[in-house]
Each structure stands twice: as structure tokens, then as C-alpha cells.
Structure 1
């Protein structure tokens, strides 16, 4: 019968022994002799105990695995937030670098970037355009430095004027050697010269004698370029 099969629960050992004992007694009966009343009573008790042992409830189920907590929204967005902060910092640094003037901490970085752009020019026309941009920046820096009250203001203005003249001469010389006066490049150069005069001429009364002489020589040079038809 089905309830004689050995169980795999913790009481398997006792059930197996009991079932084996009952089986041995039954085999002895089949070999000869009628069972005694005592044997019948004992057999009945052993069978009931075996049946009761098989009905013992199983042990408690294993504990459930703890649920994995989902990361909060802030934790999931942290990489994007960090990237946005870095990007904003880089943008702010770039703006401050672009508007820096001689004497500022970021000014060397600005000049390094300009030198890199000049070195990457593919031909004389592109290099001349970038040199004119640099000259415009030197004029704007000179206008900013005029309002400074630092003790080294005049030295910084002198530096800006010298750099402005150097890049202007380089740019206009390239234009003169490239084509006729009515070319688009020459017209752009004349427009640049007029803009530089508009920027530099109002600064003359605010400069010291030495820097005023530099500025006047610069204006004379760009006027000569304009008058020559280039």
C-alpha cells in the first residue's frame, strides 16, 4: 500500500525502520502460521504510527528573498546632474576667458586659444581673417583697460596696442599680396580698418603720452591702407 513507502521527511529513519519491521512480520506470516491477537494489535498500532508519521506537516518554507530596493530618482539622475554642472562650469569659464584682458588669470588661456586657431588656418585668406579678429579683440581689451585704476594699467595698455598693431599689419599685408582692391577680401579688410578707427580713436584722450603716440601711429597705418584702395 502507498502508505508503506519510506518518507523523505525528517522522520524518515524511524518510518523506514517501522516499515521494515512490519514487512518482516508479514513475511513471517506468509511462511506459515496464523497471526496471534497480540500480533494483530501490535501490527495495527505500528501501522497507525507509520501513517501518522507520514502526515506530519512539512517544515516552514524558506524565507523569501528580500526585495531589491529601487534607487531613488536623485541617485539615478546623479550622472546627468554632474555632467550638466561640469558643462555649465566649462561654459562659464569659456565666457570669462573670452572677455578676459591683460593681467587677468585667464588671459594666457585666451591667447593660447588664439594661437592655436591661427596655426590651424588652412590658407592665407583664413589666417588673415583670424588675425583681424585678434586685432579687434586687442582694441576691445584696450578700451576695457582704459577704465582700470591698477598701477600697471599703462603697461597693459601698451602690451595690447603692440599686439593689435602686429596682428593688423600681418592681416593687411596678406590681403595686399593676394588680389585686386575690388575683391571681396579687400573690401572686408577696409571694413575692418574703419571699425578699428571707430574703436581706437575715442581712446586717445584717455591714454598716456607714450600709448597715445602708439595709437596715432596705428591709426595712420590703417588710414594709409584704406587710402591706397585696398
Structure 2
């Protein structure tokens, strides 16, 4: 499997992603600078977390205009798979490839902690090999992670089975207390209608090895890898 990892000025999870994909999951990884126009013929484009362009204006608002994003949009239009984490999720929303927006956390503080998320849908290849309602232990690190969309959009996401993950407690309850940033309906990640684009705020690449506290992240990343390997 070929994974292209985008890198912007201010990306700080690019090396984590490259390590997880290449050293843990043994994919062929190509780093792609934001000014490049060659995605290196990927099976998957991974947009990592960080603070692209210093998070000026809004998180992801400048990165969406980077030259490489024209190629990413074309890749998506042809049915390519995109996976955005944290800042990557914000960029996908800024591009309009995913609906909604990421707002400042409800308590106006940057959060860096482990959280629990519940698998809300197994419709897309990103979660198809997981069990619905399985709880994954994965960290977050963001200041603008509060997912927001109007009620009609949220209803369409629910009706289309596009909510991939919800924040929850250890028992799987998506309560307000277990929702770290105030995201609407406890949403931690969504897909597009076709299930080929996933955006999520928690960082699976940071829990890809037992030494880091959990391998739940690697389990999640391996889902799309297994799907694409079968399709090859």
C-alpha cells in the first residue's frame, strides 16, 4: 500500500504518521511538501495534525490554498481515499470535502490527553473491520476541535451513517462529561457520503505501539490498509 503524507509549514505530526505507516504497518510512505504537485501515485493521502501556517485566520484556512491541495481535490474527485487527522480534519472541512467546521474548544483551552471514542459506524472502509460500538483509546491534542454543523447537516450525517466516531466514557456512554471539546452530538470523526474521506480529531498515529500506551491507533489505521490491499 502506498501512503502519501502531506507536510505543511507548522505540521508537527507528520513524522509520527510516517513512522506509524512505514515502521509499524509497513506501508510505502512518501512525504509530500505542500508546494509539490506530485502526490506519488498513492492509494491513500494522509493529512496529519499540527499547526499549518501557524493556525492564522482559522485552523486549516491557509493550508487549503497550498498548491498541493489542487492535486488532492483532483485525487478525491477521481475516487481517491483521504484521511485527515486533527489539523488534517480541519483542512478537509475548509476545503468543503467534509461538511461542518472545527471551532475553539468549549472551555477555550488547548487539550492534550487520552480519550475514549466509540465506533459509531462500520459503513466505510476506514472502520469496516472494526465492531460497531467498540471503544478505542486514542489521544487528542487540539485547541480547535469542537465539531460544529447546523442541525440539518447533522441530521444528514446521521441519516447517511457518516458519523464514524463519538467521544465516550470507558463504558461507551457518549455523555457531556466524556465530550472533551463540546463537539456537536459528541462527534469525533466523520466520513463523506461515499465513505472515501475520513476526518477525525483524535490521533491514531500516536497510539500505534504498546510502548505509547495503546495499539488501538494501529488497529484503526490498519482497517483502510486491509481494504486497499484487497482492492489492489
Superposition TM-score tier, normalisation by shorter sequence: under 0.3
Which structure's relative contact order is higher, taking Cα pairs within 8 Å and 6+ residues apart?
2
Q: TM-score, normalised by structure 2?
A: 0.24
Larger Rg: 1
Higher-strand-fraction structure: 2
Q: TM-score, normalised by structure 1?
A: 0.24
Higher-helix-fraction structure: 1
